[in-house]
């Protein structure tokens, strides 16, 4: 406990990120302790109205020792709107959701997205926490609604989706991930595609540079708004 307390007074950058990107952020960090990374529960984007309060609480907790606060979040359906760091600078990736982070840049996401808008993207974090369609069906829907309704619901919710895309950033578990992605595609009768991802955006979250094309820079006390993203 003592050592943890000691570390929390150590002045260093603090990154507050969604747990979905833990595998990539940890790979990008490569053991470095120069930054603190706080992971928040995945799936908070489903209730975007609650997200600002949860992130704000963690920012306030880190306020006494963070040299700068960097968020590992996209705008996430306005889930960041209203968030502010009162005492330090706040750096936020300039992208709408985490897929841009996995693909390396917002521009890359736009290019990929244009081809197949009805695409469900999978990364190690999505699968690990059962947030892939198959996981959602098995873990969330099936016990609650029974097979008939659960199957109908998962298919109905994704009825306009045509592709399952595995974002391959060369992470260690990529073979298992590929198997799972293929299972998802078969389960939903969708086309399977594989897209190359990379860790570059995650590396920038950890070490910078925080170029203004890729990151929003907010001064202490400045609040995140939707319009900053457009």
Partner 1 sequence: MDKNQILEKLAAVVMDGTEDEAKVLAQAVVANKIDPLEAIEQGLSKGMEIIGGRFERGEAYLPELLMAAASFNAAMAVLKPEIEAQKKQLVKLGKVLIGTVKGDVHSIGKDIVASVLDTSGFDVVDMGVDNPSLNIIQQAEKIQADVIALSSVMTTTMPAQKEVIDTLKEMGIRQKYFVIIGGGPVNPEWADRIGADGYGKSAIDAVALVKGLMAKKK
Helices 200-207 and 22-29: angle between axes, nearest 10 degrees: 60
Binding mask 133-162 for partner 1 (x = CB under 8 A): -------xx--xx---xx-xx--xx-xxx-
Identify the bridge partners of residue 39 per DSSP, sorted by sequence position. Answer: 17
Q: How crowded is residue 193: how many other Cβ atoms within 10 Å of its Cβ?
A: 16
Binding to partner 1 in span 79-108, by CB under 8 A = 96-97
Binding to partner 1 in span 31-70, by CB under 8 A = 46-50
Place of tokens 């990008």: 28
Contact between 101 and 201 (Cβ < 8 Å): yes
Q: How many CA atoms lie within 13 A of 187 on its CB side?
A: 20
The kind and range of the H/E element at 190 are none
44 DSSP 8-state letter = G
Range in contact with partner 1 (rule: CB under 8 A) among 14-22, 114-122, 184-192, 201-209: 114-122
Q: Is 191 in the site for partner 1 (CB under 8 A)?
A: no
Binding to partner 1 in span 211-230, by CB under 8 A = 226-227, 229-230
For the CB of residue 77, give the shortest distance to partner 1 in the complex, in Å: 5
Where along the sequence are the contacts to partner 1 (CB under 8 A)?
46-50, 75, 77-78, 96-97, 113-114, 117-118, 140-141, 144-145, 149-150, 152-153, 156-157, 159-161, 226-227, 229-230
């Amino acid at each position: 406990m003592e050592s943890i307390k000691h570390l929390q007074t150590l002045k260093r950058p603090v990154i507050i990120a969604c747990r979905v990107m833990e595998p990539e952020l940890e790979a990008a960090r490569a053991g470095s302790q120069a930054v603190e990374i706080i992971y928040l529960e995945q799936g908070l984007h489903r209730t975007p109205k609650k997200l600002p309060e949860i992130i704000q609480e963690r920012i306030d907790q880190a306020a006494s020792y963070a040299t700068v606060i960097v968020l590992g979040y996209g705008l996430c359906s306005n889930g960041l709107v209203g968030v502010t760091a009162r005492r330090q600078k706040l750096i936020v990736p300039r992208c709408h959701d985490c897929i841009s982070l996995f693909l390396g840049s917002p521009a890359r996401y736009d290019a990929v997205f244009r081809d197949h808008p009805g695409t469900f993207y999978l990364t190690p974090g999505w699968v690990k926490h059962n947030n892939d369609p198959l996981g959602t069906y098995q873990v969330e829907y099936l016990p609650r609604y029974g097979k008939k309704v659960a199957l109908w619901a998962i298919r109905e919710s994704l009825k306009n989706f045509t592709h399952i895309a595995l974002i391959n950033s060369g992470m260690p578990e990529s073979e298992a991930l590929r198997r799972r992605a293929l299972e998802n595609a078969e389960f939903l009768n969708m086309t399977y595609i594989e897209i190359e991802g990379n860790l570059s955006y995650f590396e920038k979250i950890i070490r910078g540079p925080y170029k203004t094309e890729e990151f929003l820079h907010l001064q202490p006390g400045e609040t995140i708004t939707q319009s900053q993203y457009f």
